[in-house]
Amino acid sequence: MPGTATPEVLPDIGQDEQSRSRDALEPGYLVICWNDPVNLMVYVTHVFQVVFGWLRQKAERHMLQVHHEGKSILTRESLERAEFYVHQLQKYGLHATMERDEP
């Protein structure tokens, strides 16, 4: 049918897939460690070193930020990487979550 314009509307499912794959790739998630009164400071430092491969100095800086400010943003990652890091931190019993980095 010449002259008839067909609007290109992607089905919803396509949009979902698009946004999921965008989420999976873009570093739009923050991995946050929250303060609690139970985990030992030296233990938290150790966990940061093991999970992120950080040197002791950097791990201690983040641990102290958790201690003094109530939380520390440890890294900004894609959905999948953020999820991976939260899993690792929670395996060690730390209070860690991932939150969307809202503009």
Q: Kindly report the number of other CB atoms within 10 A of residue 63's CB atom.
A: 25
What is the DSSP pairing of strand 96-100 with strand 71-77?
unpaired
Contacting range for another protein; rule: CB under 8 A; set: 1-9, 12-20, 93-101: 93-101
Block residue for tokens 């395996």? 91
Total residues binding another protein (CB under 8 A):
33
Minimum CB separation from another protein for residue 77, in Å? 13
CA distance 56 to 72: 16
Contact at 8 Å (CB) between 80 and 31?
no
For the chain, what is the largest distance between any 2 Cα atoms, rounded to a whole number of angstroms? 73
Alpha carbon 14 to its chain centroid, in Å, reads 25
Q: Does 35 bind another protein (CB under 8 A)?
A: yes
Please identify, among the stretches 2-10, 11-19, 94-102, the one whose residues bind another protein according to the rule CB under 8 A.
94-102
Q: Which of residues 49-68 bind another protein (CB under 8 A)?
A: 50, 56, 63-64, 66-67
Closest CB to another protein among residues 52, 92: 92
Residue ranges that bind another protein, judged by CB under 8 A: 33-44, 46-47, 50, 56, 63-64, 66-67, 83, 86-87, 90-95, 97-100
